[in-house]
Amino acid sequence: MPLYRPPRIAASEITPRDVYLSRRHFLGTAAAGLALAGTGSAFAAPLKAAPSAYKVDDKPTSKQDVTTYNNFYEFGTGKSDPARYSGDFKPRPWTVEIGGMVAKPTTIDMETILKEIPMEERVYRMRCVEAWSMVIPWIGFPLSALLDRVEPLGSAKYVAFETVIRPKEMPGQSGFFQPLDWPYVEGLRLDEARHPLTILATGLYGETLPNQNGAPLRLVVPWKYGFKGIKSIVKITLTDKEPPTTWNKMASQEYGFYANVNPAVDHPRWSQATERRIGEANGLFGGARLNTLPFNGYADDVAGLYAGMDLKKFY
Ligand code: MTE
């Protein structure tokens, strides 16, 4: 028995009319219902993006795995819950409030972001703190492009992020069991936020971001553990103090503010030295076991951000 109601929104409410009509045609000829069951990716519209220099040689994880195996506690704590229970979520209309220590605070809507900021495809290695990994072809843009628009003040040192609160659309926020404090919050140091590898994603696999992957706008920081990648962002605040972060508030001895991928610093309850690449060459234990690389393989680009810091202390 599912804990939550299955999605029951009509495709016509969240899909452009032509896409909806062609899908109806498709569904009329294929096995209706089944094709739509669960994944919001079935609703995703094509998204234009230029290729970029940032890509890795690793084979991308299948779209099926990327869109059906992840964490998004607003929709439940199970790995398949986000895909199964995010169908009621409405990623449009959507605005993001950007303020705090900036010269030009603003509230910007998604259509403006998509129209005015050029999108790129970035194929990134992603490493979850639970020791599994994926390779995801994101579409997005450097977070710095948005930060530049609001002109951070010299006193700003950190960037704080917040996810939307919508219990009516996010069953994990309305159920009897509330696993986290809402809103989900995250943060970066301003220099990390401005690093060219740090992007806000609006899509994956050439399509608009599916609900379960953080529609319509989520953070992607490929050298940090996956929990830093806050989803469905509605608020970005520049500040001079290290912002609270959801997992650090939950268990500070297990999850630090930095959360840089580091095979030399184990999680208190498990090793971080290796990772299971989802969907790859399934061996005896259901996935290829790879050695985890410092900064998830992005050390040449980002290690300099932490020069002189004790990374065992600032984990
Ligand atoms: N963002 C919100 N708002 N709520 C969440 O529960 N989970 C995080 C992160 N962002 C989470 C979130 C965790 S633990 C991971 S591993 C990634 O999202 C996984 O999602 P992805 O595979 O779509 O990147």
Nearest CA residue ID for atom 12, ligand 1: 230
Percent of the chain with pLDDT over 90: 80
Cα end-to-end span (Å), the chain? 39
What distance in angstroms lies between residue 165's CA and the mean position of ligand 1's atoms?
15
Q: With a 6 A CB cut-off, is 86 part of the ligand 1 pocket? A: no
What is the spatial distance between Cα 270 and Cα 109, in angstroms, rounded to a whole number?
Answer: 41
Choose the residue to mutate in 77, 136, 227, 272 for probing ligand 1, maximizing ligand atoms within 8 Å of C-beta.
227
CA of 229 to the centre of ligand 1 (A): 6
CA angle, 137 then 146 then 238, to 5°: 115
- Has this prediction a pTM greater than 0.75? yes
**Does 7-12+46-68+92-306 carry CATH code 3.90.420.10?**
yes
Tell me how crowded residue 202 is: count the other CB atoms within 10 A of its CB. Answer: 24
What is the chain's pLDDT, residue by residue, as a tens digit (315 residues)? Answer: 333 333 344 444 444 433 433 333 333 333 333 333 344 444 578 898 998 989 999 999 999 999 999 999 999 999 999 999 999 999 999 999 999 999 999 999 999 999 999 999 999 999 999 999 999 999 999 999 999 999 999 999 999 999 999 999 999 999 888 999 999 999 999 999 999 999 999 999 999 999 999 999 999 999 999 999 999 999 999 999 999 999 999 999 999 999 999 999 999 999 999 999 998 865 555 567 899 999 999 999 999 999 999 999 999
pLDDT digits (tens, 9 = 90+) for 14-58: 444 334 333 333 333 333 333 333 444 445 788 989 989 899 999
Domain ranges for the chain: 7-12+46-68+92-306
CA atoms of 211 and 76, how far apart (whole Å)? 13
- Residue located nearest, by CA, to atom 11 of ligand 1: 72
Q: Is 260's C-beta closer than 6 angstroms to any atom of ligand 1? A: no
